Structure 1
């Protein structure tokens, strides 16, 4: 199992960060430019990664003010789980951690690790930019 993650501290209360992340409609704002054909509801998102794959994700678990877990809702190129974990640092500061767990064979690991790391870094950076 390949695990890629990054954390960021946001100057907002935990409830505000959790509420933003728990609605997949908001996740389009966190995506890099190579994502297109985005469509979403609060619980599901579909998109295409340029030159790679189409993905359909759904929220499989919500733990209020703790964690949001997404898994593929259709067949994906590899087994993957995406999770956002939020943790209160202080009344107005929240640590958000984005974790991707992917079941990658050696060849897929060489091809996908770089883009997945860029995705994690981009999304945590965008979250900090959007929420402050």
Structure 2
């Protein structure tokens, strides 16, 4: 299952966006309002949304100023969440979030709508930076 968020322009350089996203504690600013738990632990963070199980994301890959990829800490539900960053000008960047998973069809059907909403919320909050 793949979900692509909207591509948004942010009034920050690609370097600023990259540094913001590689500092995992900054993800708390991007989370939805119904976040009940958010804790950073080294190269990972755990978050919990109201009515949903807690999820731990681990830093998987960083390509300086162009990509930050997080992945599931658990191999039971493997997925990645990538932020692709493209520089528009010295003080403007374009960011797009991409979610990829190998969920079985039943699981994919159950989580597609809430995950799409989650990606939309993260994207909206990135755009406000």
Same fold, judged at TM 0.5 (above):
yes
Structure 1 stretches lacking a partner, 5+ long:
none
For residue 60 of structure 1, what is the aligned residue in structure 2? 60
Higher mean displacement: 28-37 or 120-129? 28-37
The CA RMSD over aligned residues, in Å, is 1.5
Q: Would the alpha carbon gap of residues 64 and 18 (structure 1) be closer, same or farther in structure 2, given more than 3 Å must change?
A: same
Q: 1:39 to 1:52 in 2, by over 3 A?
A: same
Distance of 1:36 and 1:119 partners within structure 2: 14
**CA distance in 2: counterparts of 1:42 and 1:5, whole angstroms:** 27
Q: Does 2:14 match 1:14?
A: yes
Query: How many residues were matched structurally?
Result: 128
Deviations 1:5-30, CA, capped at 9 Å, x for gaps: 12211011111111111111000111
Following TM superposition, by how much is the alpha carbon of 1:41 offset from its aligned partner in structure 2, in angstroms? 4.2
8 Å contact 1:5–1:99 — kept in the other structure? yes
Q: Match for residue 43 of structure 2?
A: 43
Structure 2 unaligned residues grouped into runs of 5+: none
**2:90 is the counterpart of 1:100:** no
TM-score by length of 2: 0.90
SS in 2 for 1:115: helix
Task: Quote the offset at 1:51 in angstroms.
Answer: 2.1
